[in-house]
């Protein structure tokens, strides 16, 4: 049940990521010199065949032609934030997004700090959701106070 809820949340988050980025209330264009064109060593559009040896299949949605994986020996931290998991998403066999989950207020704050350091602060600040719309990437970061869970979705544009 928990896994099904996570998968549903992941799919809805990915679908809404582009929609949210277009809303003026949350989106901000960033003149960003250090462009994000993927996540860690994987660039957007990389085929699953090229990197499949390093991935562990976690699930798929055959109707939408989406597959998601975790990575063997993936460091579960970004900056000072300890992560619950990192999920690599492939659409039609191409790397299109990553979903990152962390739990706890201190991990949320550490991850938010790292994102703002790299991508810039959102003005005006919103306590629950942040969106950065970059040239090749949309970044959506949200925090749910009730569940004490933060989710970061980084999605390549055009895939």
**Segment 56-106, tens digit of pLDDT:** 999 999 999 999 999 999 999 999 999 999 999 999 999 999 999 999 999
When pLDDT is cut at 50, 70 and 90, the band that residue 35 belongs to is low
Percentage of the chain beyond pLDDT 70 is: 75
When pLDDT is cut at 50, 70 and 90, the band that residue 52 belongs to is confident
**pLDDT mean over 33-44:** 80
Average of per-residue pLDDT values in the chain: 81
When pLDDT is cut at 50, 70 and 90, the band that residue 128 belongs to is confident
Lowest mean pLDDT among 4-13, 94-103, 106-115: 4-13
State the Cα–Cα distance between residues 127 and 107, nearest whole angstrom: 15
pLDDT of 19 > 80? The answer is no
Look at residue 30 in the predicted model and tell me its pLDDT: 32
When pLDDT is cut at 50, 70 and 90, the band that residue 159 belongs to is confident
Closest CA to 59 of 46, 68, 51, 50: 68
């Amino acid at each position: 049940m928990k896994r099904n809820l996570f998968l549903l949340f992941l799919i809805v988050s990915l679908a809404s990521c582009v929609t949210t980025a277009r809303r003026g209330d949350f989106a901000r264009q960033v003149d960003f010199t250090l462009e994000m064109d993927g996540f860690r060593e994987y660039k957007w559009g990389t085929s699953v065949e090229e990197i499949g040896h390093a991935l562990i299949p976690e699930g798929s949605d055959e109707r939408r032609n989406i597959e998601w994986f975790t990575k063997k020996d993936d460091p579960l931290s970004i900056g000072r934030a300890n992560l619950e998991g990192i999920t690599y998403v492939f659409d039609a066999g191409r790397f299109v997004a990553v979903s990152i989950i962390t739990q706890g207020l201190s991990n949320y704050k550490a991850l938010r700090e790292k994102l703002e350091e790299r991508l810039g602060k959102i003005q005006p600040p919103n306590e629950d959701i942040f969106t950065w719309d970059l040239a090749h990437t949309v970044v959506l970061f949200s925090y749910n106070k009730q569940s004490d869970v933060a989710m970061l979705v980084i999605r390549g544009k055009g895939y």
